[in-house]
Amino acid sequence: MAPLTLYTFARSAPCRAVVLVCRNLNLDIELKEVNLFEKAQLSADYLKVNPQHTVPCLDDNGFILWESRAITEYLVESKAKGSPLYPIDDLKKKALVNQRLYFDAGTLYPRIRAICFPVLFLGEKKIAEDKRKQLAEAFEFLNTFIGEHKWVCGDDLTIADLSILASISSIVQVGADISGYKNLAKWYENCKSLPGFAENEAGAKLFGDAVKSKLDDKL
C-alpha cells in the first residue's frame, strides 16, 4: 500500500492532531512541510492540491481531504475500522467523541487562536484579560468533562483526546498553567505515554517559542 501523504506544519495544532492519530494507529505516512510563516500554502503547486490553502491536508492515493477532524475520522474508519479511537459501532460513544471534537473545534481551539493569532500576525504585545478568562473557562469545561476518567470520553483513548492534546500542548508551551485543574493536569500526564507525544511537544514548543518571542507579558 502506498504511504499516506500529509501536508503539514509542525507548529500547527490541527496538523499535529492528525500526526498523533497516525502514530497511534501505526500508519505509514509521509509528511510534507508547508511553512505557513513563509506563505508556502499560497504557492501555485499547493493551491492545486488544496484550493482553500489550509493545512493539514491528506493525500490518500489521490483522495484529497482537509480539515483535521474530518481527516482523523477518515483515517480510523478507512485504515483501522473497529479501533476504539473512533467507535463507529457504538452510537452513543461515537456521539460523545464527536461532541468533544466539536468542543475543541468550536470552543477550545478558537480561544487559543484568539490569544495567539494577533500576537503572531497583528503585532499585539499583550493578552487582554477577557481572553484570559475565556481560556480559563475552556479549561474548566474540559476539567469537568474528564472528571474521574482517564480520557476525555471515558476510559478509552479516542481521537478527541489527540485533537485536544494538540491544542492544549500549544497553549501550555505559550505559558498557560493547567496545574490548577486537577483532572486536566492528570489527563495531560496520561498523554505523555502516548505514541507521538514527544513529536507533538516539539512542534508545540516551536509554536510557543514563536508566540512568546513577540509577547511583552506572560500568559
Residue 174 covered by a domain: yes
In the chain, what percentage of residues exceed pLDDT 90? 97
For residues 19-48, average pLDDT: 97
In this predicted structure, the answer to whether residue 136 has a pLDDT above a threshold of 70 is yes
Q: What is the pTM of this model?
A: 0.96
Mean of per-residue pLDDT scores for the chain: 97
Is 128 in the same domain as 169?
yes
Is 146 in the same domain as 126?
yes
Considering 45, 80, 115, which residue would you say is the last residue of a domain? Answer: 80
Residue 85 covered by a domain: no
Is residue 211 within a helix (H) or strand (E), and if so which, with residue range?
Answer: helix 197-212
In this predicted structure, the answer to whether residue 68 has a pLDDT above a threshold of 80 is yes
The pLDDT of residue 116 is 98
**Confidence grade of residue 2 (pLDDT, cut at 50, 70, 90):** low
Q: Pairing mode, if any, of strands 4-8 and 29-33?
A: parallel
Residue 86 covered by a domain: no
In the chain, what percentage of residues exceed pLDDT 70? 99
Is 112 in the same domain as 198?
yes
Is 114 in the same domain as 149?
yes
Distance (Å, rounded) from C-alpha 22 to C-alpha 101? 17
Is 105 in the same domain as 171?
yes
Is 147 in the same domain as 167?
yes
Is 75 in the same domain as 181?
no
The pLDDT of residue 120 is 96
Is 112 in the same domain as 200?
yes
Distance (Å, rounded) from C-alpha 204 to C-alpha 69? 18
The b-or-e profile of 132-166 (16+ CB within 10 A means b, else e) is: eebbeebbeebbebbeeeebbbeeebbbbbbbbbb
Is 33 in the same domain as 105?
no
- Total domains, the chain: 2
Range of the domain at 194: 91-213
Residue-wise pLDDT for 85-99, tens only, equals 999 999 999 999 999
Considering 80, 110, 141, which residue would you say is the last residue of a domain? Answer: 80
In this predicted structure, the answer to whether residue 150 has a pLDDT above a threshold of 60 is yes
How far is residue 23 CA from its own chain's centroid? 14
For residues 151-169, average pLDDT: 99
Residue 148 covered by a domain: yes
Q: What is the DSSP string of 151-200?
A: BTTBSS--HHHHHHHHHHHHHHHHT---TTSHHHHHHHHHHTTSTTHHHH
Considering 80, 104, 133, which residue would you say is the last residue of a domain? Answer: 80
Is 101 in the same domain as 172?
yes
The pLDDT of residue 3 is 85
For residues 32-54, average pLDDT: 97
* Residues acting as catalytic residues: 12
**Confidence grade of residue 112 (pLDDT, cut at 50, 70, 90):** very high
In this predicted structure, the answer to whether residue 201 has a pLDDT above a threshold of 70 is yes
For residues 117-122, average pLDDT: 96
Is 70 in the same domain as 159?
no
Is 145 in the same domain as 51?
no
Distance (Å, rounded) from C-alpha 91 to C-alpha 178? 32
CATH number of domain containing 108: 1.20.1050.10
For residues 26-46, average pLDDT: 96
In this predicted structure, the answer to whether residue 1 has a pLDDT above a threshold of 80 is no
